[in-house]
């Protein structure tokens, strides 16, 4: 065959392939999500093999392990005791609550590790929603935002580096930015859940925190979060959300879930110069784990290929429960 250009020339050897590789994975691309509880034990999460609810004592060791593997950011999620949950989720801004305690402990022992937090009411709400639910079953936007601002301030006071509003209330990024600035926390960043979809991929996470919507009183409770999280059918709307978050002062934009929304990551990369994060969510993680346990797939190969797909789509950062495994695999390559 008389071919002027043969693309396979640059695929011929490993060194040639690495020379022209367009995207790479590094341990410091990862943000490692960690579940925390108030007990003294480490509790395996059955729906997410390989993950645990960490006690405060055990949490430090796991964060040290992540640091030694090259991971430079963790995000904390609380498993809140039932007796502390309420309709307004006020435990979220308790300065002596689980997450502020965990932040202070980590910052004392490992001050260089970047600590990201989650800002939303669902772990603290007896209704399981990210916002306050009215007596007639409506998730209230503006009233919720006031609580989120209090929550963000408490987390910043404890030493958080990045505040992560995951609630999808309108206007919350601007309100949190103003609240943080007013309290002197102008150096604390916001990594907003910009395009967070009302997805079926969150099931294992909600088991880990026992945070699914539920009704324990006669008050009507929305059965899902579709009145505030985004419709999976929509893509252009994500651009609108990104523009609003950027105008309101977000430092990093996030897409959640990640794998089923690579097109959204790509769209936001074209629209914004801000760093883009992708959340490789619990359902995506658990499906890989389940298939790997049955030897249906090569776990290492599938995980690294999946994580690389986020980078190829345009993500700068990846929240993933595979973080430590992936960092170790990359270190040993």
Residue 99 inside a domain? The answer is: yes
Q: Does the residue 234 lie in any domain?
A: yes
Looking at the domain assignment, is residue 224 inside a domain? yes
How does pLDDT run across 208-251, given as a tens digit for each residue? Answer: 877 778 777 778 888 999 999 999 999 999 999 999 999 999 99
Q: At what angle do helices 299-313 and 262-271 cross, to 10 degrees?
A: 30
Q: How many domains does the chain have?
A: 1
Residue-number span of the structural domain to which 157 is assigned: 23-332
Per residue in 17-71, pLDDT tens? 999 999 999 999 999 999 999 999 999 999 999 999 999 999 999 999 999 999 9
Tell me the mean pLDDT per 10 residues along the chain, length 333: 93 95 96 96 95 96 98 97 93 97 97 97 91 93 97 98 97 98 98 97 86 76 93 98 98 97 98 98 97 98 98 98 98 85
Enumerate residues 6+ apart whose C-beta is below 8 A from 185: 153, 156, 157
DSSP secondary structure letters along 102-123: HHHHHHHH-TTSEEEEEE-STT
Cβ 54 vs Cβ 65: under 8 Å: no
Residue 8 host element (H or E): none
Question: Does residue 15 form part of some domain?
Answer: no
Residue 1 lies in a domain: no
Q: Is residue 14 part of a domain?
A: no
Query: Rounded to an integer, what distance in angstroms lies between the CA atom of residue 225 and that of residue 200?
Result: 11
Tell the burial category of 182 from Cβ atoms under 10 Å away from its Cβ (0-12, 13-18, 19+): exposed
Please report whether residue 7 resides in a domain: no
**Residue 321 domain-assigned (yes or no):** yes
Cβ–Cβ under 8 Å, residues 53 and 35? yes
Q: How many CB atoms lie within 10 A of CB 266?
A: 17
Whichever domain contains 131, its CATH number is 3.20.20.70
How many angstroms separate the CA atoms of 7 and 257, rounded? 34
Rg of the chain over Cα atoms, rounded to whole angstroms, equals: 20
β-bridge mates for residue 34, sequence order = 76
Catalytic center residues: 196, 256
């Amino acid at each position: 065959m008389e071919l002027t250009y043969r693309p396979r020339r640059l695929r011929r050897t490993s060194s040639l392939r690495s020379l022209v590789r367009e995207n790479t994975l590094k341990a410091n691309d990862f943000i490692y999500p960690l579940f925390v509880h108030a007990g003294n034990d480490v509790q395996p999460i059955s729906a997410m093999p390989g993950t645990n609810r960490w006690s405060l004592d055990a949490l430090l060791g796991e964060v040290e392990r992540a640091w030694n593997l090259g991971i430079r950011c963790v995000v904390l999620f609380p498993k809140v005791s039932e007796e502390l949950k309420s309709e307004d989720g006020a435990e979220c801004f308790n300065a002596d609550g689980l997450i502020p305690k965990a932040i202070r402990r980590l910052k004392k022992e490992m001050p260089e590790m970047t600590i990201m937090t989650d800002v939303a009411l669902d772990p603290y709400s007896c209704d399981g929603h990210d916002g306050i639910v009215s007596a007639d079953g409506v998730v209230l936007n503006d009233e919720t935002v006031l609580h989120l601002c209090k929550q963000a301030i408490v987390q910043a006071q404890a030493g958080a580096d990045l505040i992560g509003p995951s609630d999808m209330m309108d206007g919350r990024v601007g309100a949190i930015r103003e609240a943080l600035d007013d309290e002197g926390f102008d150096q604390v960043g916001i990594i907003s859940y910009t395009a967070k979809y009302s997805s079926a991929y969150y099931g294992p996470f909600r088991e880990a925190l026992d945070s699914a919507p539920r009704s324990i009183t006669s008050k009507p409770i929305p059965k899902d979060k579709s009145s505030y999280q985004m419709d999976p059918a929509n893509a252009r709307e994500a651009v609108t959300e990104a523009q609003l978050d950027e105008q309101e002062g977000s430092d990093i934009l996030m897409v959640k879930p990640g794998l089923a929304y690579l097109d959204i990551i790509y769209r936001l990369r074209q629209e914004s110069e801000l760093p883009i994060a992708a959340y490789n969510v619990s359902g995506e993680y658990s499906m890989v784990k389940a298939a790997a346990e049955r030897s249906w797939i090569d776990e290492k190969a599938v995980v690294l290929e999946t994580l690389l797909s986020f980078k190829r789509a345009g993500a700068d950062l990846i929240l993933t429960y595979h973080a430590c495994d992936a960092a170790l695999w990359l270190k040993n390559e």
